[in-house]
Chains A and B, each alone.
Chain A
Amino acid sequence: MLKTRIIPCLDVIKNKVVKGVNFKNIKVMGNAIEMAKFYSETGADELCMLDINASYQNRKTFIKTVESIAKVINIPLTVGGGVSDLSDITNLLNAGADKVSINSAAVKKPNLVKKASLVHGSQCIVVAIDAKRLKGNFRVVIKGGREVTTKKLINWALFVQRLGAGEILLTSMDTDGVQEGFDAEMLRSITAKLTIPVIASGGVGKLEHFYKGHQTKSTGLLAASVFHSGKYTIKQVKRFLDKKGVPVRI
Chain B
Amino acid sequence: MKKKIIGLVDGQSGNIGSIKKAIKDIIRKKPYQLKIIQSQFDPNQFSKIILPGQGAYTTLVSNLKKLKIYNSLKIYLKNNFPYLGICVGMQILSDVGYEDKATKGLGIVHGEVKKFEKKNLIIPHMGWNSLKVNKEDKILTPAFNEKDFYFVHSYIFQEAKRSDVLATTKYGKNFPSVVKKGNIYGVQFHPEKSHKNGLKLIKNFILNS
The chain A residues found within 8 Å of chain B, CB to CB, are 1-5, 40, 45, 70-71, 74-76, 93-94, 96-98, 120-124, 166-167, 195-197, 219-220, 249
Contacts and interface: CB of A to CB of B under 8 A. Distances in A.
Interface of B: 13-15, 17-18, 21-22, 54-56, 121-130, 148, 150, 152-154, 170-171, 190, 192-195, 198-199
A166 B126 CA distance: 9
Contact of A2 (B55, B125, B195, B198): B125
Contact of A220 (B22, B127, B194): B127
A203 B35 CA distance: 47
Nearest to B149: A249
Nearest to B54: A121
Tell me if A's interface is mostly helix, strand, loop or mixed.
loop
B18 A74 contact: yes
A43 B62 CA distance: 38
19 contacts: A3-B129, A40-B195, A45-B127, A45-B150, A70-B21, A71-B21, A74-B18, A74-B198, A76-B150, A76-B152, A76-B193, A94-B15, A96-B17, A120-B14, A122-B124, A122-B154, A123-B124, A123-B153, A249-B128
Contacts of A219: 122, 126-127
Tell me if B's interface is mostly helix, strand, loop or mixed.
mixed
A71 B20 CA distance: 10
Contacts of B170: 1
Given A1-B130, A195-B122, A74 B22 contact: yes
Contact of B129 (A1, A71, A74, A123): A1
Contact of A124 (B14, B22, B130): B14
A123 B152 contact: yes
Nearest to A4: B127
Contacts, number: 89
A3 B148 contact: yes
Given A96-B18, A124-B54, A196-B122, A74 B192 contact: yes
A97 B198 CA distance: 18
Nearest to A43: B195
A96 B15 contact: yes
Nearest to A99: B152
A236 B163 CA distance: 41
Contacts of A2: 125, 127-129, 171
Contacts of A98: 15, 18, 193
Nearest to B123: A195
Which A-B residue pairs are the 9 nearest by beta carbons? A121-B55, A249-B148, A3-B128, A249-B128, A123-B152, A96-B17, A2-B129, A5-B127, A197-B126
Contacts of A1: 129-130, 170
A97 B21 CA distance: 14
Nearest to A93: B15
Nearest to A123: B152
A5 B128 contact: yes
A150 B195 CA distance: 42
A50 to B, nearest CB: 19
B55 A120 contact: yes
Contacts of B121: 195
Q: Which of B56, B126, B194, B198 has the most CB of A within 10 A?
A: B126
Nearest to A94: B15
A131 to B, nearest CB: 20
Contacts of B123: 195-196
A45 to B, nearest CB: 6
A98 to B, nearest CB: 7
A124 B55 CA distance: 9
Given A123-B152, A124-B14, A45 B124 contact: no
B199 A74 contact: yes
B17 A197 contact: no
A167 B122 CA distance: 10
Contacts of B14: 93, 120-121, 124
Contacts of B54: 121, 123-124
B34 to A, nearest CB: 16
A51 B56 CA distance: 29
